Structure 1
Amino acid sequence: MSHETYITMNKASGPNSDAKVEPFVKVIALVATLGGLLFGYDTGVISGALLFMQNDLHLTPFTTGLVTSSLLFGAAFGAVFAGRCATAMGRRRIIIILAVIFAVGAIGTSLSPNVHWMVIFRTILGVAVGGASATVPVYIAEISPANKRGQLVTIQELMIVSGQMLAYMSNAAFNEVWGGEYTWRWMLAVATVPAVLLWFGMLFMPDTPRWYAMKGRMAEARKVLEKTRAKDDIEWELIEIEETLQEESAENKVNFRDILVTPWLLKLFGIGIGVAMIQQLTGVNTIMYYAPTMLKSVGMSTNAALIATIANGVISVLMTFVGIWMLGRIGRRSMTLIGQIGCTCCLFFIGFVSFVMPEFVNGQPDVLRSYMVLLGMLMFLSFQQGALSPVTWLLLSEIFPTRMRGIMMGAAVFAMWIVNFLISFLFPIMLASVGLSNSFFIFGLVGILGAIFVIRCVPETRSRSLEQIEHYLRGRLDQQAPSPLAAGQTSPMMNNKLK
């Protein structure tokens, strides 16, 4: 590569550039991440709705776990469906389909007459949630310039926690304004509005240049790059995409079976599964789904628990801004480790507080104990939403090869949702059988194992384009492959084309 070309690339939005994002990229990210807003609202709203549907639907600890976790069961299969179909149909078209499913699920759950129908429509809603979690980060990662990919992908996490905060606020507002038996139906129905906005907005958005290139539609890929990249970036990024796709096409590795028989892909797939699972094994969604239930169990009233839960949403949103800021300054691996260790310490704190402090003082529930548990939740969410969750979605959107990104992302998110499903289903039973403190001690022990996994397995992907990440990870995981590329380095074939 000539010296002039190198300078041009670094003035544009290459991996190490400080160039600004094109305005159209921000519009695309904002519209697409409405899927994240729906993801957050539909997972967070159940925390308050459970308190009101207990009598209406005659819930037991078992059916409480079933209603909550059925969405997550559907999400696991939605992630696989969307991951596989996104390769064939395109990322954009899948998001449009998911918007329709979001609307159907929201209306269905709000009108459910009994537990059976609630579980069915929560599962349908879960298909959309899981599909969005697998598709939206990939869509944004592929359409973003390399130097701003971290911040733009993390908008998805910001929208998720914003959706959860909106859910907590609407829960408290509906209770304050209406209260009563049927409040939960309005809580669930509100999600129809952003679903319609997502569907309408995505009708006007393009698909990603990498998907167009993968389908041989290079003219359309160029058009998207012209709208989303600095002028000097278009040629070299097209060359980089085309080169990587040619290498993969020559190897003919496009089926899930090929992952299992190709050592470096299998190792990479295992890392992706691990990254997805450790985020859920912290027990984060026991707090997001059951916070009011837990706070009531340690002495708060229904109204106080709903209002206190808003603090969880506010902290999550504020710390996600911190996470976006940190992603531009420290490595993905370091950020994952900070989040994992911080979350684990907070889990032990919650367990210790609920174990040591008395349940009752002078015959009344110990208010200080309930607020100390809330403090533990807020500290936990500071590490989870400020470090671990944003970097998890970013890593998953970066580490998989272009032709297999949809399939591998879908499978990794499937594993994430299955773990989420099991934890959310079992937590009410754990709470009833072993108590709050022992439940969190168990999560803390699992968190230690997660930290060991991060230290040993999680790669560093910062300051590399998606194609450079693929070369780097292949070199690292396959002993027979060429040496991995250094950060910001291009391949010899690309150098020759750029000269």
Structure 2
Amino acid sequence: MVSPTLSWELVLLSSVSCIGGFLFGYDTGVVSGCVIFLQKSLDLNSSMVEVVVSSTVGMAAVGAAVSGKPLQIFGRKPVIAISSVFYALGSSLIAFAPGIITIITGRLLLGLGVGLSSMAIPPYISEAAPIRIRGRLVSMYNLSIVVGQAIACGINILCENLLIGSMRWRLAMGIAAIPALIQFICFLKLPESPRFLIMKGQKKKAEQVLRRLRGIYDPNAPNTTEIHDFLRDTEADSNHESDSLQAALQKVKNSTTIQRIFRLGLGLMLLQQLSGINTVMYYGADILIQAGFPEHQSVALTAALAIAQGIGIISASPLFDKFGRRKLLIPSTFAAALSLVILGFAFITHTSWLSLIGCFSYLLSFGFGLSSGPWIVNAEVYPTTLRGLGVSSSTTVNWLANYLVSATFLTACNKVGEPATFFALAIIAFTGAFWLYLALPETAGQALSDHQLLALFDASSLLDRTKKRKNRRRGRRGPGAYSGVAQHDDNEHDEANYGNDEEGEQSPTSNPIRRRENFMEAGAAPLPAPVRPISSSSLNLDAPLRNRTRIASSETSNRTAEEFDDHPDGV
């Protein structure tokens, strides 16, 4: 079978989808400078500023909460197109607003657009992308958010220098209607998600879409292995598709494995927001002014801050698929926490340049993993029957946490001070990094069918999985015993494939490895590992002679690789 290629249609689909990310970033980022224009033009106090900022975020949570059902019934494409309409209407309304009430109404409409697009676009891209570049394409959505924020800062600078009075905020907020209309027109021609088409029984059409997205235009050319596997696995998953919210909630309630998936997805979104990203993005100019920078410099520096996050995202984009989600998310969260500590000390020492370093390093660290990672993981970890509920719930949690932070940040700074506020955010980020170390399995490079997902999460934590592997290694050593270590990158995935019950827990008697351990724990001599036939191509000739790897023939067994200590030449 031929190998997949990156077709121009996949590039077009991803690019047009990312306009939604650009609008997301622009409409949430432009307010950072516009609140200063609004305060001068309409004489707003801090409370009204928080309302203007948080109204979009609060309505985004509503949009995310109500979008799950339309995504399951009508598909990803119509929901994204409708979000474009809300973007255009909200921006136009603000541009011609006679007063603050109309501005807030326009911001509410923008929030609906943000909530719908943030729900629909990541799974839309993920379901259309090849496995090998899935993480990279979804991270492009997050990069487009940062690009939107950076361009919003640039527009604010131009409006401040070239315009006067209310024209500053009218043009800065209203111009976003143009890309919204472009996205709406383009989406009229784009295909629906292949996964959604299969869910609706349109397998032939899904196959045609996949072939176009993979650059296979010859009708006589065979499908790639990836297309074949995708059609097979998705069709099998769609047989269990349920439109009942009550049935979906019952599945979550009855399975500890699925609960782990939801805790991870929702927890990642909560961590992303409670680590303080939108305190810096929404109130960046205010933070720098409070740190001692002049007003005109603060507005200009917000663009540099957005660029810092963009640098982090661009640097990390190819690494999500190369090194995996864990190796980027955990260090990113820890580094962001350290940067928040620097920000806190900057306000204690009243050092303006240190506050700028803290903001810059925070956004760079955040962009390196915590910006894209939660969206990537949430776009791929939910089983098909629960994908609508999972993505809707996680995105709603993201926006609710975003609203909580944006609606209370200035109040918290006024009540307890900037240092205490940033130190509190740092504690949350440090705690989150430790939690990710325990709870986040690696999903990079996985086909992630429903069966594979449940197997991947069939362990309560990384700590438990590590402890089980160590115990198994110790248990296999002894008189007459072989030493064995699973050679797969994801041992927990292989362990979970042995003897799972319906709740995702292993049966001690159905797992052959566990049977050997139980036999040994009872005081008997350890059982030798079975000797399996191998070919010379199965040997790891680069390893030391006594540690050469023997792998059971994949044609006769699907067991994991094991290292043998019995003979210097591996026989």
Write out aligned runs for 1:137-216 (5 A).
137-216=122-201
Write out aligned runs for 1:93-104 (5 A).
93-104=78-89
Would you say the 8 A contact 1:398–1:469 is kept in 2?
no
One-letter amino acid matched to 1:169: G
1: distance between equivalents of 2:178 and 2:244? 45
2: distance between equivalents of 1:252 and 1:107? 36
Would you say the 8 A contact 2:310–2:364 is kept in 1?
no
Greater shift in the superposed pair: 382-391 or 282-291:
382-391
Structure having the higher Rg: 2
One-letter amino acid matched to 1:470: L
Determine if the alignment matches structure 1 residue 273 to structure 2 residue 258. Answer: no
Determine if the alignment matches structure 1 residue 427 to structure 2 residue 427. Answer: no
Higher helix proportion: 1
Determine if the alignment matches structure 1 residue 480 to structure 2 residue 501. Answer: yes
2: distance between equivalents of 1:179 and 1:341? 43
One-letter amino acid matched to 1:418: L
Write out aligned runs for 1:393-432 (5 A).
393-432=375-414
Q: Secondary structure, in 3 states, of the residue corresponding to 1:460?
A: coil
Greater shift in the superposed pair: 92-101 or 174-183:
174-183
Would you say the 8 A contact 2:242–2:248 is kept in 1?
no
Q: Secondary structure, in 3 states, of the residue corresponding to 2:239?
A: helix
Q: Label 1:469 to 1:106 Cα distance change in 2 as closer, same or farther (>3 A).
A: farther
- Aligned-residue CA RMSD in angstroms? 2.4
Q: Label 1:255 to 1:323 Cα distance change in 2 as closer, same or farther (>3 A).
A: same
- Report the equivalent of 2:205: 220
- Report the equivalent of 2:445: 463
Write out aligned runs for 1:438-457 (5 A).
438-457=420-439
One-letter amino acid matched to 1:437: P
Q: Secondary structure, in 3 states, of the residue corresponding to 2:30?
A: helix
- Report the equivalent of 1:23: 8
1: distance between equivalents of 2:243 and 2:179? 43
Gaps of at least 5 residues in structure 1 are: 1-7, 14-19, 358-368, 485-491
- Report the equivalent of 1:488: none
Q: Label 1:133 to 1:469 Cα distance change in 2 as closer, same or farther (>3 A).
A: farther
* Superposed CA offset, 1:384-435 (max 9, x none): 1121111111001011112321221011110111011011000111122222
2: distance between equivalents of 1:341 and 1:392? 15
Q: Label 1:220 to 1:432 Cα distance change in 2 as closer, same or farther (>3 A).
A: same
1: distance between equivalents of 2:49 and 2:204? 52
The normalised TM-score by structure 2 is: 0.77
Greater shift in the superposed pair: 32-41 or 268-277:
268-277
- Report the equivalent of 1:61: 46
1: distance between equivalents of 2:158 and 2:439? 44
Determine if the alignment matches structure 1 residue 321 to structure 2 residue 304. Answer: no
Determine if the alignment matches structure 1 residue 238 to structure 2 residue 231. Answer: yes
The normalised TM-score by structure 1 is: 0.87
One-letter amino acid matched to 1:221: A
2: distance between equivalents of 1:80 and 1:403? 17
Q: What is the CA-CA distance between 1:150 and the residue it aligns to? A: 0.7
- Report the equivalent of 1:87: 72
Greater shift in the superposed pair: 474-483 or 376-385:
474-483
- Report the equivalent of 1:3: none
Q: Secondary structure, in 3 states, of the residue corresponding to 2:123?
A: helix
Q: Label 1:337 to 1:64 Cα distance change in 2 as closer, same or farther (>3 A).
A: same
1: distance between equivalents of 2:421 and 2:246? 43
Greater shift in the superposed pair: 130-139 or 327-336:
327-336
* Superposed CA offset, 1:431-460 (max 9, x none): 222222221111111112212221221221
- Report the equivalent of 1:365: none
Q: Label 1:437 to 1:180 Cα distance change in 2 as closer, same or farther (>3 A).
A: same
Gaps of at least 5 residues in structure 2 are: 217-222, 461-495, 507-554, 559-571
Write out aligned runs for 1:329-344 (5 A).
329-344=322-337
- Report the equivalent of 1:70: 55
